[in-house]
Amino acid sequence: MEKIIIVYGSTTGTTEGMSQLIMREIRAHASGPSDKDLISVRTTGNKPETEIKFSGLDVTVRDVASLSPKELSDYGVIILGCSTWGDGELQEDFIDFEEELRGIDLKDKRYAVFGPGESVYSQFCKAVDILGETLKQCGAHEIIEGLKVDVMGGPFEDAVRAWAKSVIQALN
């Protein structure tokens, strides 16, 4: 069972909403076997045997404000979601977390990063780059390119769902 944690930092609720969407997309995918989970059919004696592999994804969502970076060690897949504030800074709850994260070994982990921002700012979605760089320095491996969402560009739910689906596909 692959354990996934989605950690968000969110001031006005946008990143939190994106996290819920991503969690639902992953859970929907992991809800049971489908045709693509069928990995082999073989015959033993007269009896055909079917081997079914469940997607086996277990996903948890946590607010960064109540999480210690050390807890990330319990998960194989780490998804961080963070909005950008100030002039290209991390959302405030992520600041201490990111500092502490720098000292943690995440060599056998995989990660993906997402976040909302507004393209009118010169440091558009900089938090996604900052956290991606930190996770890389910790030794973790990127699953897919980070998702940067311009919240001023209209509805973005479909883009978030599509990104979540790509994460799952890359994990399989």
Ligand X SMILES: Cc1cc2nc3c(=O)[nH]c(=O)nc-3n(C[C@H](O)[C@H](O)[C@H](O)COP(=O)(O)O)c2cc1C
Residues at the interface with ligand X (CB under 6 A): 10-15, 83-88, 91, 116-118, 121, 123-126, 151
CA–CA dist 23, 29 (Å, integer) = 10
CB of 96 to ligand X, least distance (A): 16
Residue number of the CB atom closest to ligand X: 117
Give the nearer residue to ligand X in terms of CB position, either 57 or 116. 116
- Measured CA to CA, the distance from residue 119 to residue 136 in angstroms comes to 25
| Cβ 133 to ligand X shortest distance, Å | 16
Instruction: Give the nearest distance from C-beta 37 to ligand X in angstroms.
Output: 34
Enter the tokens of residue 59. 């996903």
Phi and psi torsions of 29, nearest 5°: -70, -35
The rounded Cα 152 to chain-centroid distance in angstroms is 22
- Looking at beta carbons only, is 91 or 134 nearer to ligand X? 91
> What six digits make up the tokens of 78?
């780490």
SS (H, E, C) 70-126: HHHHHCCEEEEEECEECCCEECHHHHHHHHHHCCCCCCCCEEEEEEEECCCCCCCCH
CB 28 to ligand X: min, Å: 23
Kindly tell me which of 30 and 159 has the beta carbon lying closer to ligand X: 159
Closer CB to ligand X, 109 or 148, in the complex: 148
Nearby residues of 126 by Cβ (< 8 Å), 6 or more positions away: 84, 88, 89, 117
- Take residue 145 and report the two structure tokens written for it: 């390119």
Residue 68 CB, nearest distance to ligand X (Å)?
21
Nearer to ligand X, 57 or 160 (CB): 160
